[in-house]
Amino acid sequence: MPSDDLFSPDLSEVLEIPAQESWPKTSHRFDQKSIWAIKAALASGRPLLLRGEPGIGKSQLARAAACALGVPFLPFVVDKRSERDELFFTFDAVARLAQAQVSAVIAQSDRGVDWQKAMAEENFVRPGVMWKAIDWQDAHKQAERFLRHARQKDSRSTFPDWKPSSEARCGPVVLIDEIDKADPSVPNGLLECLGNQGFQIPQLGKSITLPKGSKPPLVVITTNEDRELPAAFLRRCLVLQMEFPEEPEAVKKFLIEDRARVFWKEEQVSNTICENLVGLLLDERKNARLEGGAIPGAAEFLDILRILSNMSSAEDPVERDSIQLKALAEISRFALKKNREERL
């Protein structure tokens, strides 16, 4: 397959991304830089590391890639308690203890019950995102086994209605979100798995490997730079810097054309309102760098536009702009200025 066919969404189109579990419905427009980064990751089999300030759209890019590629989106949000094996599987000791109590009661009344079989460790192993991404069908079988024995509902063990296909350009898209929050064992374990195209599960006494003829997953990783990532990890990744522009005209294009117009028409929030907000945002970014504190960016820009569009839906454009400009002057004080005392 020619490399140009790996990933070629229309830059002029807005992609509608459906809701998934706690991730809300949203929209996305690709840019040329991110398209080439995804193409390179698909062609090389390397994970794609996304760097950039919070709110720039790193996680959404992974969701948009999965939607455009027609494959499942498998997110794993990292926190400081995240452990290496959680990417691959988790062993639910609590569910096993509950089953032990149930089995003990049943065994007393029914001597024919094989409680040792019911208590087998492999019944309480829950597949993680990398297991699903590498061997979707095997993970699906294990998830059903876990749900049957754990006797509980668990959204982490649910599977979308999808089957691996030779026509797919890759396996599922895995998002490892905010990997810089984790202990170095997490990124190192991920690299080991990707390098070997698989991993070991001691409780099952087997290895999970990419089935013959299957496409490897696209692994997208984000960082907010809270912790320096291991050098060996960075060398094994492709890195996309998702930068907030510096030049005012470039900022206008980025925020108004590539962000605001993806979500709102000019009849909802005019270019006049957007340009006023861009000016306030740039001033506040400059002040925040000088005085310290959170630097507002694309996320705050979109939050404010959402507020303004909900505050006035007047049909007359002059009246609507007047209402929204007054509201902008008021709400910008607490929507843009964070972690610092308000300047007089």
Domain boundary, last residue among 189, 206, 241:
241
Query: Based on the domain organization, do 50 and 27 belong to the same domain?
Result: yes
What's the DSSP call for residue 86?
G
Question: What pLDDT is recorded for position 113?
Answer: 58
315 Cβ neighbours under 8 A, 6+ residues apart = none
252 Cβ neighbours under 8 A, 6+ residues apart = 274, 275, 278
Domain boundary, last residue among 241, 264, 289:
241
Task: Give domain status of residue 150, yes or no.
Answer: no
Task: Give domain status of residue 278, yes or no.
Answer: yes
Query: Based on the domain organization, do 330 and 204 belong to the same domain?
Result: no
CATH code, domain with 207: 3.40.50.300
CA 117, 118, 120: angle at the middle one, nearest 5?
65
Query: Based on the domain organization, do 237 and 187 belong to the same domain?
Result: yes
Task: Give domain status of residue 262, yes or no.
Answer: yes
Assign 295 to helix, strand or coil: coil
Q: How many domains are there within the chain?
A: 2
Query: Based on the domain organization, do 206 and 323 belong to the same domain?
Result: no
- Identify the domain containing residue 274 by its residue range: 248-335
Provide the β-strand partners of residue 173. Answer: 73, 218
Task: Give domain status of residue 81, yes or no.
Answer: yes
Query: Based on the domain organization, do 74 and 161 belong to the same domain?
Result: yes
Question: What pLDDT is recorded for position 5?
Answer: 67
- The kind and range of the H/E element at 125 are strand 125-127
Query: Based on the domain organization, do 30 and 169 belong to the same domain?
Result: yes
205 Cβ neighbours under 8 A, 6+ residues apart = none
d(CA 124, CA 146): 5
d(CA 26, CA 9): 17
Question: What pLDDT is recorded for position 103?
Answer: 60
Do you know the residue count of the chain?
A: 344
Query: Based on the domain organization, do 208 and 282 belong to the same domain?
Result: no
Q: Please give the structure tokens belonging to residue 276.
A: 């006023």
Query: Based on the domain organization, do 316 and 221 belong to the same domain?
Result: no
pTM above 0.85, yes or no: yes
Task: Give domain status of residue 314, yes or no.
Answer: yes
What's the chain's average pLDDT?
A: 87
60, amino acid identity = Q
Query: Based on the domain organization, do 214 and 164 belong to the same domain?
Result: yes
Task: Give domain status of residue 132, yes or no.
Answer: no
Task: Give domain status of residue 131, yes or no.
Answer: no
Give exposure, 289-316, as e/b (b: 16+ Cβ within 10 Å).
Answer: eeeeeebbbbebbbebbeebbeebeeee
Question: What pLDDT is recorded for position 263?
Answer: 93
Query: Based on the domain organization, do 236 and 210 belong to the same domain?
Result: yes
Going residue by residue through the chain (344 aa), what tens digit of pLDDT does each one get? Answer: 334 567 888 888 999 999 998 899 999 999 999 999 999 999 999 999 999 988 899 999 999 999 999 999 999 999 988 989 999 998 887 776 766 666 655 555 655 556 666 677 788 899 999 999 999 999 999 998 888 877 666 666 677 788 888 788 899 999 999 999 988 888 888 988 988 889 999 888 899 999 998 999 999 999 988 888 888 889 999 999 999 998 999 999 999 999 999 999 999 999 999 999 999 999 999 988 888 778 899 999 999 999 999 988 788 999 999 999 999 999 998 899 876 555 44
β-strand 73-77 against 173-177: which pairing, if any?
A: parallel
What number of other Cβ atoms are within 10 A of residue 19's Cβ?
A: 9
Task: Give domain status of residue 35, yes or no.
Answer: yes
Query: Based on the domain organization, do 310 and 234 belong to the same domain?
Result: no
Domain boundary, last residue among 241, 256, 277:
241
155 Cβ neighbours under 8 A, 6+ residues apart = 21
Query: Based on the domain organization, do 172 and 297 belong to the same domain?
Result: no
> Which residue carries 């810089």 as its tokens?
180
